[in-house]
Amino acid sequence: MTKIVTPDPLRFAKGELVLLDQRKIPEKKTYIRIKSASGAAKAIKDMIVRGAPAIGIAAAYGMVLGRKNPERSAKMLIAARPTAVNLKWAVDQMLKVKDRSCKAMLAKAEELDKENKKLCARISENGAKLIKKSSRVMTHCNAGPLATDGIGTALGVIFAARKNIDTVYIKETRPRLQGARLTAWELKQWKIPCLLISDGMAAHIMKTSGVDAVIVGADRIASNGDSANKIGTYDLAISAKYHNVPFYIAAPYSTIDFSAKSEKDIAIEYRDEKEMLFIGGKAISAPGIRALNPSFDVTPASLITAIITEKGVIQKPSLKTMRKFYS
């Protein structure tokens, strides 16, 4: 498996969940030690750990900490962030463990952690085959090691295809700047050529400089391929369609919600308006102004060229192609 040069976003040591505080990256590396399921749920809600696969694994360890009251712990952890289905997936796996001893619960969480790393590696290899020589690739938010506790999904593909990459355009990703703060940090350490752009620049770059592929992760994919990801992904998919740029989603099976028929069944997380109104604690808008802050949007399957998974690539995702692929 590929060696990851960036620090682990999470680990379980001496009976505690240790989280790299992603809110502080790239300024500093600080770690927060969590001792309870409620502490894990709060850390997920506050985005100390973030990214769908990583919060799933953090929740699995949170279930180890909350093993004495599993139903309550499960409820708290699942509610921490409503869109990313990996949370529910991991918690459900943990609830299936009949032996609620620390040893048995920890063994299951470690198994999920290990499996998740393998899924990321396979997604990366499968996706790399789609990236042609000298590609200019655009990405949104952060779908690398910090978001996955593995090599990444979308960024994993970029890493695996690094010899074919000319430039990665990183959308800064307002309001929490996961692109500017985290993706840029990871790509710099991987020494992959990249340029930071603001969110509103994507269509212009496609028209003027040219983009060969867009690749992003996902937080929940419905049975028909509709895919929820960081707010701004839908705009990006529309721009890609208009400019004939292939638009790829990279995600493991733990991100697929087979109980959701389409985007209508995907809950969108709304976050505090302060994320919009302040930057670094400083107000940036008119006093008293209100703001909207949906954290995710859903890209309809019709705008997605293919979904890259650990099993292979689902071209033209739809209810039919998804059903066939996972049958």
Q: Which spans of this chain sit near ligand MRU (rule: CB under 6 A)?
A: 50-53, 84, 141, 143, 147-148, 153, 178, 216-219, 229-230, 295
> Closest separation between CB of residue 244 and ligand MRU, Å?
23
The Cα angle at residue 39 between residues 150 and 52, in degrees rounded to 5: 30
Q: Considering beta carbons, is residue 47 or 97 the nearer one to ligand MRU?
A: 47
Question: CB-wise, 97 or 172, nearer to ligand MRU?
Answer: 172
Output Rg (C-alpha) for the chain, integer angstroms: 19
**Residue closest to ligand MRU when measured from CB atoms:** 217
Residue 284: phi, psi to the nearest 5?
-115, 0
Buried b (16+ CB within 10 A) or exposed e, 101-136: eeeebbebbeebbebbbebbbbbbbbbbebbeeebb
35's tokens: 């001792």
| 38 vs 148 by CB, closer to ligand MRU | 148
- Catalytic pick from 113, 149, 212, 219? 219
CB of 118 to ligand MRU, least distance (A): 15
203, 169 Cβ separation under 8 angstroms: no
199 is catalytic: no
Report how far residue 100's alpha carbon sits from residue 66's, in angstroms, rounded to the nearest whole number.
Answer: 10
Cα separation, 162 vs 164, whole angstroms: 5
Packing angle of the helix pair 70-80, 52-65 (nearest 10 deg)? 160
Residue number with CB closer to ligand MRU (141 or 313):
141
What minimum distance in Å lies between the beta carbon of 255 and ligand MRU? 7
Identify which of residues 206 and 249 has a Cβ nearer to ligand MRU in the complex: 249
Where b means 16+ CB within 10 Å and e means fewer, 165-189 reads: bebbbbbbbbbbbbbbbbbbbbbee
What b-and-e string marks burial along 71-98, b requiring 16 or more CB atoms within 10 Å of the CB?
eebbebbbebbbbbbbbbbbbebbeebe
Kindly list the catalytic residues.
219
